[in-house]
Structures are given as C-alpha cells and as structure tokens.
Structure 1
Amino acid sequence: MPAISRLALVLTVAVLGLPAAAAPGDTLATVRSAAGAVKVVEVAAGLETPWSLAFLPDGRMLVTERPGRMRIVSPDGQVSAPVAGVPAVHARSQAGLLDVVLGPDFARDRRIYFSYAEPTPGGARTAVARAVLDADGLRLTGVERLFAQNEDPGGGAHWGSRLVFGRDGTLFVTLGDRYSYRDQAQDLGSHLGKVVRIAADGSVPPDNPFVGRAGAMPEIWSYGHRNVQGAALHPQSGALWTHEHGPQGGDEVNLTLAGRNYGWPVITYGREYITGFRIGEGSARADVEPPLTQWTPSIAPSGMAFYTGDAFPQWRGSLFVGALRGSMLVRLSLDGNRIAGEERLLRELGQRIRDVRQGPDGLLYLLDESDGHILRLEPGG
C-alpha cells in the first residue's frame, strides 16, 4: 500500500475507532483516557484465537493459540511457525491450549508452564504441564503433566486455566466448573470450580488449607468459583487476585484467600440464561467472601494485570481487565484492597480482549481474540 494511502487509512481509523488492516508498528487508533491520549499500536497479526502471552527475556513473546499451537513472536511482529512438542488438546468451543507462564527459574532451566484441555476417554479436563522451551529451535522437550482435574465431563465450557506463580514459588491454577456441573464448585471432593495451589513439581504444598481434611482434595486453595479467567499477584502484598465470569450478571473481582468460599452457585449476583431467574439463595452470606466489585450486566472478563510501569504514571497501581462481551479494556483504580473507580477504554475498537500483560518496557500489551492481533498501548503524546 502506498505510504499516503496507508496514512489515510490509519487516520480514518483513529477518527472513527475502527479496526484496521495495518502492518506491525502501525497505530490503529488514538483514544482518550484519564491519562491523556493513548495510542493503540499493532505489534503482530495473523494469530488464530490467541489466548495467552508471556514475555521471554530477550523481548520475544510466547503466545498460545486455542486450537493447540504455541508461537514465538518477535518484537517487530514476525510470527513463527508452530512450536513442536505441544501435547494433544481438546479443542472444542472454549477448550484448547490456554495459559502459559515462564517458570521462576526460566533463565536457568528454560522451563515454561502451560494449561490446556486434556482429552480423556470420558471427555476432557483442565491439565497443567511443564516443558523446556527451545525458542530458537521452536520445540518443547521434557514435557511433564503435573496436574489434572479429578473429573473429566463432556462439554466445551468453563475451563478456567489462568496460571500464577506465588512469591514462594508455588503455582496457582484456576479451574472452571465445566458449566453443567456447577454444584461441584461447593464440593471439596471435586476440583471443579476451584483455585488450586501446587508446587512447581506438581506436588501438594503441606500448608495448603485443606491438607489432611477428610474428603477434601489437598490441592484446593479456594472454592465456590464459576470460571476464573483472570489472575494476578498484587504488586505490594503478593496476594492473589482473581476475576471470574458470572452468567447473566455477577462477574466478580475477588481477593482470593486460602480456604475461603466464594459462593458459586449458592451466593451470586447472576441469573439463569433462559429464564432470567436469580441463581442461589442471594448475594451475601456470612461464610462467603464478598467480591471486591461485580459487573451486572456481565462484561465477560478475561486476562488481568496490575500496572506498575512508568509509561503511564496516572495508571500506576491500577488493575486492568480485558472484556470479551464488553469488547473493551477496563481500568480499576484501587485504594488498598478497595475498588475506588472504573474507567472503560478502547470501546471504539470493539475488540474481544482475551489477555492483558505488562511488558518489560512498561507498556500494556493486549491479545485481541477477534482479529488475532497483539496490541500495545503507548502514550499518545
């Protein structure tokens, strides 16, 4: 495309807020925010249903695609061939290859950890594996499955699957209720609808809250969850924060504490999809942890990151959440553990934001599930 024509296209997009057929490095739009003008820059394109992004030490990005592929993306937007050695995944509806994070000792051992829908004779289940990444050779070696849910129903919904390493080196794994099995979220003998905590080798940490309790799965950290697709450590306290999908209403942000019950499906703000009837017995109960905030109507949150960078000083300390149904990026301003305010960004673009990460450059990176883009937010000048 001639330079003048490309410039005209980009300017049109910036004014109208429309997605562009642009090249890596192009500004797709400039949008307003409380921090001033923000440029939305295309980093890479051509991905198929990207789900998660992790930054490698050399600036490249490791990206999962839900159909079952990993790719390496260079800083200038070149997308590699698929990485070999990824195990078979159950790629159906919401299922497939999901989150990926670098291990705590990646610089030494090159280990990555990833979650996926593992096919079984009875159906499928959320599983977690680790492997050694050869980023130049585009292959995984030494793949080890570390954890799998103890139930494997059929169906393609509610896998959870966010992975977060705690400061002590243990790994938090979020697990969905698999939609039709929501009552299991209250059953400590089931992994469905839970957040679990395992050691980096897959073993059970002895200080998990239900270790030694009869009838309880020892991996469980918290329970009463529906479908947690956002998780991050608070940068000051190191506490685990999560968010989860409600049905019709009741998307929640939670401070996710050891041994606590988060209510689903007994205590919830949600309603049934078909009838619109309230689910459960109400929205509060003394033994259930209340959400820090909730969205009704639902925004379908996915991906989450605390912002600690210098590029946007006014955003420092904020929590960013991608929204699928809401087609936007939500910024939550915080006062300690209290949600003090909300700003809705990028609604002009109308993209399904699947993942949110802060890059090593202090900028925010987004996975756009709609068009297979990696996007970067920069100060607009």
Structure 2
Amino acid sequence: MTRGGSTVARSRATQRLVLTLLALSLTAACSAETRFDTREHTVRVVEVTDGLEHPWSLAFLPNGDMLVTERPGRLRIVRDGQLLPDPVPGLPDIRAIGQGGLLDLALHPAFDSNRLVYVSYAADHDRGVTTHVARGRFEDEALHDVEVLFIAEPASGGGRHFGSRLLFDRDGYLYITVGDRGTMDRSQRLDDHAGTTIRLYDDGRIPGDNPFVGRNDARPEIYTYGNRNAQGMALHPETGDVWQNEHGPRGGDEVNLIRAGINYGWPVITHGVDYSGATIGEGITEKEGMEQPVHHWTPSIAPSGMAFYTGDAFPRWQGNLFVGALAHTHVARLVMDGERVVEEETLLREMGQRIRDVRQGPDGYLWLLTDHRNGRLLRVEPAE
C-alpha cells in the first residue's frame, strides 16, 4: 500500500512538473512580444532572435541583414529574423578576458561602395592585453584583407575597462573610446591612451589638427582625456557633435559633449565614490580646467550603447537621447534642450534585461541588444 501510494505520488509530481514546464514554455513564448506604456507612446517590444552570447554591438546592412558582435569573439549575421548558425570568418585574433573580447562594430560611411567594417576588440600586445581596432572588407559573408589600424598603448594586465565604442562623424573621422583599464590615474596622462577618446582618419592616420599633435609629452591620437570607461557614443542629428556616456564607479555615470583637447576630470573630480565607499581623487565634483558632465547618474545605472532618435515611428521622441542601462536594466530616455538634459524617463525596466546596445534602425524603430549568456535582439515598435 505504501509503495503504491508512493508511486501514485511520484506520478502526480511528475505530471505537475510537466505542466509547470509547459506553462513556463508558454510564458516564454508570450514574452517574445510585450506591451509597455510610456509617457509619450505605447510600445511593443518584439524578440527578433535570441541565442546570442553576450552580444555587444549591432549594425544594419543595406540588404536588410544585421551584423552582431558577441563578446567571446564571434561576428554573427541575422537575416530575416533568424540568427545564421555559422559565425563570420576572418576576424583578427581576439582575447576574451573579463569585460574584453569582440566589442563594437561600425560600418564605413561609404560602406555601400567599399564594404569596410570596423571592429574594436581586446587582444594580446606586448606582454599584456589592450584595445585594438581593425577593419576588413565584408564580402560573401566573410571578412577579407583585415588590417589593424590602432592599438591602445601601453598594454596592461586584467580584464577591465576597455571602452571600445566606435563612431564616424560627418567629416569621416573615426572616434574610438579607450577605458582606463582599471588604473584610474592613467586617464590624466597624455602619454597614455588609457582613459581617452581617440580620433583618426578612416585608414588609421592621425589628423594634423588633433589637439595634442606636435607635443613630445602626448600621444597624437588623443582627442579627449580624463575619461573613465566610455561605452556609448552617438552623433547629434542636427549639430553633428559627438556625444558620449561613460561609466562612473558607485555613482557618477556621465553624459558628455565631446570637444577637442578637453579634460573630463576622471579621477580628479567625480560625482561617484569608490566601490568600497572611499573618496576618489580630490573628493570634489568641480575643478577649474576640467569639464562638467552634461548629465550624470548617481547611483550608477552603468550606461552602455546610446542613440539619438530621428525616426517617424515615434514622433514625440524625435531629438531624444536613448541610453542603455546595464546595472539598472532599463533604457533611459533623455529629453534635450540644446546641450541640456531637461527631462528623463525610465523605460522597459519591467523586462529586467541588461541593455548593452541601442540603435535606431532603418525602419525607424529602436533596436536593443541584451547582455546575457543567452542574449536577445529586440525591436521596439509602436503599439498604438
């Protein structure tokens, strides 16, 4: 009797488990499309694909395909909403370590004719590891003639703060962010690429009007310094100015307007404190000769990819700046008035996703990448 009762109990438990798994499966399927109310628009978030391992960056190709980087060192193609099984061959040697690996991705402004793709990544160099930038020609679903254009020096150990966002401005200059590599004082050294924004021609040459060209105590590639770890960069749609966000420690995440030769203050001034709670730098938030952020977050949201919105799908969002948040798992919508942030709205926090990249697609929708082991490509579209 006891054995029979145990058998029945086990059978019922198995049935309950099956029903629970089925319910979870249905819930996951339903979550592929979710509606959210915002102040200006009701939106629908649609899962285009999953199965991406810590995706970092997204680019839209003229034929409708999308390229996505995965931090472990793979470049993937998404076609008609499907993740193709084979990674793109031809990448340079990549070192996946800590926050490093294959990171940002940018198409040359004349990609339609030259097919050039730029990637930033961590790789070994001179007994250490550091940020690299390379470019290659994308044809027949492979990269060809890959050449390294920039190596941040000096290299160092550890796997923190590689920066690595890439952006072309209207004049075709290439901007590269390099993090402080976890050694904060390097950001104030002009003979060190760490903690800077780099500005180059598209072929890696150094522009003669870079602010520190000709100085014996400075690396001529440097355009700005005093940056901690910038992982978002976007071009203003009206002015053409370069905007950037960067990670603070505990608090002090920043949005900055990038100007030649400016010292953005890290670590001398900051609105944040160390992870231990200790004071950083001089323990002040302002100092003569150091730039104030346009906007900052305290506590930290861990800002990542960002984009200005210019599409027609969300007319009341035009001109707004959207920033992905890793730690606070949301998208921040910043309403701009010239060079000031006058309003902020938190979007999509209910999803609980680490938002790694934010892009406006050719369709006028917002596209997001989530930074998880099973990362997702999401499309934000109107639900009205």
TM-score (norm 1): 0.92
Cα 1:22–1:153 shift into 2, 3 Å: farther
Cα offset, 1:90, TM superposition: 1.1
Q: In the aligned structure 2, how far is the partner of 1:365 from the partner of 1:111?
A: 22
- Partner residue, 2:321: 319
Q: In the aligned structure 1, how far is the partner of 2:359 from the partner of 2:202?
A: 22
Conserved? CA contact 1:73–1:80, under 8 Å: no
Deviations 1:175-221 (A, max 9, x none): 00001x21110011110000010001100001111111221110110
Q: 2:123 aligns with which of 118, 124, 141?
A: 118
Q: In the aligned structure 1, how far is the partner of 2:40 from the partner of 2:314?
A: 7
Cα offset, 1:120, TM superposition: 2.3
Q: In the aligned structure 2, how far is the partner of 1:76 from the partner of 1:326?
A: 28
Q: In the aligned structure 1, how far is the partner of 2:318 from the partner of 2:85?
A: 33
- Partner residue, 1:68: 73
Match of 1:46, SS? strand
Deviations 1:289-316 (A, max 9, x none): 1001100000000000000000001100
Conserved? CA contact 1:365–1:374, under 8 Å: yes
- Partner residue, 2:256: 254
The residue type paired with residue 255 of structure 2 is V
- Partner residue, 1:267: 269
Conserved? CA contact 2:47–2:377, under 8 Å: yes
- Partner residue, 1:16: none
Match of 1:248, SS? coil
Cα offset, 1:280, TM superposition: 2.9
TM-score (norm 2): 0.91
Which is greater in Rg?
2
- Partner residue, 1:3: none
Q: Structure 1 residue 380 and structure 2 residue 383: aligned?
A: yes
Q: Structure 2 unaligned runs (5+)?
A: 1-22
Q: Which moved more, 1:113-122 or 1:278-287?
A: 278-287
Cα offset, 1:21, TM superposition: 4.4
Match of 1:217, SS? coil
Match of 2:82, SS? coil
Query: How many aligned positions are there?
Result: 363
Conserved? CA contact 2:76–2:83, under 8 Å: no
Q: Which runs of 4+ in 1 moved over 4 A?
A: none
Match of 1:73, SS? strand
Q: 1:78 aligns with which of 83, 94, 100?
A: 83
Q: In the aligned structure 1, how far is the partner of 2:339 from the partner of 2:85?
A: 40
Describe how 1:328-343 pairs up with structure 2 within 5 A. 328-343=330-345
Identity of aligned residues (%): 54
Q: Which moved more, 1:278-287 or 1:181-190?
A: 278-287
- Partner residue, 1:160: 163
- Partner residue, 2:12: none
The residue type paired with residue 240 of structure 1 is V
- Partner residue, 1:299: 301
Q: 1:183 aligns with which of 176, 182, 185?
A: 185
Cα offset, 1:270, TM superposition: 1.4
Conserved? CA contact 1:301–1:324, under 8 Å: yes
Q: In the aligned structure 1, how far is the partner of 2:76 from the partner of 2:211?
A: 37
Looking at secondary structure, tell me which structure has more helix per residue: 2
- Partner residue, 2:63: 58
